[in-house]
């Protein structure tokens, strides 16, 4: 018995060693990239600009897989690499691939009219599955329709959205395939088509045909609020409410929690890496079919949409061809990116758990580091300078503007409900983040170093205002 046990132990040890040998050490260049990437995200986390999980890979080797921040503020649970995030619009690439699998099964054609499977929508005859996939259907947004015409006592579901379109018959924004317009409606209808064609639920179809084959064990379709679910390792999404407090379990997320296809998949960085590897290695489709997922779809005019099957298609003079998609819903900010020519992968899942309102997707600097390029360091102002600039500023006409410090940043109140972060260009001049055309605030001090005024400029509009600081 002892001999058999020893033999078994040796076999297990040998298998373990063999498995370990497949994990190749990082090259010096990759190690340097790992350090630079980690430094970038740690700095952003320190300044409240990043809270989430990151997985970066090069030539199928993971060079960074790390967590930065908080999963659950109320219970003070930190993120870890098993944290599960709402993928928001990243769901669309799964929905589009599921449609392709059904086409591969000869259950439908991409050129089929949507009324073949959703006959109640006869008023939209002429819209094809291809139009729905590539955002060229012209269908208006279902969320606006629900908010304006829907029964607010009813939870929005795929069936109810179809019912609303049948009842209200909102006009198309344009004729099918004449323009490109990002459409959550189209992908919700695609999920309903999947269910009617496959005779199984959308979650079950994705589980059986995609998640299980790719060993995506931490991925599923969840209607979190509708079904009152508790998800293990959930990273809660946080947003700022009307009172300025950051909260999870957001009201509008609950209202639309029954609609899927355009969103509602939850997953981890590791599982998404399996997804990308599975697509690339043709585990779900043939090589030719996989390639067609990333083929540029054209409008009637011949103009490219730069959109494939749930992927934006990009070409960069230095980075080559790459595909990406973002997701943004109820506190979740997501990015998934695959560089086709250079075999590089970026997966960023954020949930704004640090609740600063400053969350950003650092895709540009991440790309530069991945390609060994220099990045411009962010100018950071000290707390002393920020506090010096904070205060009430008065225009010549007597109107007051509040500038205040929060989360190591300076903010300006545009009105009672809207505030914008001021990003430093120099130690005295700052730009309003996210405002177009560009607006700058420049602060001026007297010889004693006390701030006396700021000048607000918007050159594109010819605007220049002098605001004096209130004593």
- Closest C-alpha to 132, from 342, 331, 378, 307: 307
**What tokens were used for 210?**
């995609």
Contact 235, 224 (CB under 8 A): no
What residue numbers bound the domain in which 442 lies? 383-469
Domain C-terminal end among 309, 339, 370: 370
Q: 112: domain CATH number?
A: 3.40.710.10
Domain C-terminal end among 370, 394, 427: 370
| Domain match, 216 and 263 both | yes
Residue-level pLDDT at 6: 33
Domain C-terminal end among 327, 345, 370: 370
Residue-level pLDDT at 25: 84
77 domain-assigned: no
Name residue 372's beta-bridge partners: none
Q: 390: domain CATH number?
A: 2.40.128.210
301 domain-assigned: yes
Quick count: other Cβ atoms within 10 Å of Cβ 377?
9
Residue-level pLDDT at 434: 84
What gap in Å lies between CA 308 and CA 78, rounded to an integer? 36
234 domain-assigned: yes
Contact 354, 45 (CB under 8 A): yes
Packed helices 142-149 and 184-198: angle between N→C axes, nearest 10 degrees: 100
Using alpha carbons, list the distances in angstroms from residue 344 to 60, 290, 341.
Answer: 8, 17, 8
Using alpha carbons, list the distances in angstroms from residue 99 to 132, 223, 287, 310, 379.
Answer: 11, 21, 17, 11, 47
pLDDT mean by block of 10 residues, the chain; 471 residues: 34 33 73 97 96 97 97 97 98 98 98 98 98 98 96 95 98 98 98 98 98 98 96 96 86 95 98 97 96 96 98 97 97 98 98 92 97 93 97 96 95 89 97 92 96 96 96 87
Q: Alpha helix (H) ranges present in 208-321?
A: 251-255, 269-280, 287-293
pTM over 0.75: yes
Residue-level pLDDT at 362: 96
């Amino acid at each position: 018995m002892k001999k058999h046990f020893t033999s078994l132990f040796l076999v297990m040890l040998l298998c373990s060693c063999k498995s370990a040998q497949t994990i190749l050490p990082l090259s010096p260049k990759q190690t340097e990239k790992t350090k630079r990437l980690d430094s970038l995200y740690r700095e952003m986390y320190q300044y409240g600009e990043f809270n989430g999980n990151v997985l970066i890979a090069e030539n199928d080797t993971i060079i960074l897989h790390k967590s930065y921040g908080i999963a659950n503020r109320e219970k003070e649970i930190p993120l870890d690499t098993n944290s599960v995030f709402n993928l928001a619009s990243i769901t669309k690439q799964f929905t589009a691939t599921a449609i392709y699998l059904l086409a591969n099964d000869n259950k439908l054609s991409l050129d089929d009219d949507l009324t073949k499977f959703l006959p109640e929508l006869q008023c939209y005859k002429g819209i094809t599955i291809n139009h729905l996939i590539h955002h060229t259907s012209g269908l208006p947004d279902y969320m606006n329709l629900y908010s304006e015409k829907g029964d607010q006592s009813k939870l929005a579901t795929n069936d109810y959205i179809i019912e609303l379109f049948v009842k209200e018959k909102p006009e198309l924004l344009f004729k099918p395939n004449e323009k490109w317009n990002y459409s959550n409606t189209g992908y919700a209808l695609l999920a309903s088509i999947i269910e009617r064609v496959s005779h199984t639920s959308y979650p079950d179809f994705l589980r059986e045909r995609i998640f299980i084959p790719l060993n995506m064990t931490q991925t599923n379709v969840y209607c979190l609020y509708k079904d009152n679910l508790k998800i293990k390792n959930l990273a809660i999404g946080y947003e700022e409410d009307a009172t300025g407090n950051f909260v999870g379990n957001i009201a509008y997320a609950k209202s639309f929690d029954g609609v899927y296809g355009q969103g509602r998949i939850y997953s981890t960085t590791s599982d998404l890496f399996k997804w990308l590897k599975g697509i690339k290695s043709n585990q779900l489709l043939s090589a030719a079919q996989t390639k067609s997922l990333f083929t540029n779809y054209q409008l009637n005019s011949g103009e490219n949409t730069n959109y494939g099957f749930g992927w934006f298609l990009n070409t960069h003079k230095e980075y080559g061809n790459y595909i990406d998609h973002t997701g943004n819903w109820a506190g979740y900010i997501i990015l998934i990116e695959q560089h086709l020519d250079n075999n590089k992968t970026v997966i960023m899942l954020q949930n704004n758990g640090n609740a600063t309102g400053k969350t950003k997707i650092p895709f540009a600097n991440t790309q530069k580091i991945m390609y060994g390029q220099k990045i411009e360091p962010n100018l950071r102002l000290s707390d002393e300078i920020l506090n010096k600039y904070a205060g009430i500023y008065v225009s010549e006409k007597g109107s007051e503007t509040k500038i205040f410090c929060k989360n190591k940043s300076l903010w300006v109140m545009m009105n009672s409900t809207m505030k914008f972060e001021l990003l430093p260009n120099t130690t005295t001049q700052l730009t309003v983040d996210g405002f177009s055309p560009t607006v700058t605030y420049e602060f001026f001090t007297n010889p004693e170093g006390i701030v006396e005024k700021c000048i607000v400029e918007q050159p594109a509009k010819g605007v220049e205002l002098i605001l004096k600081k209130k004593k």
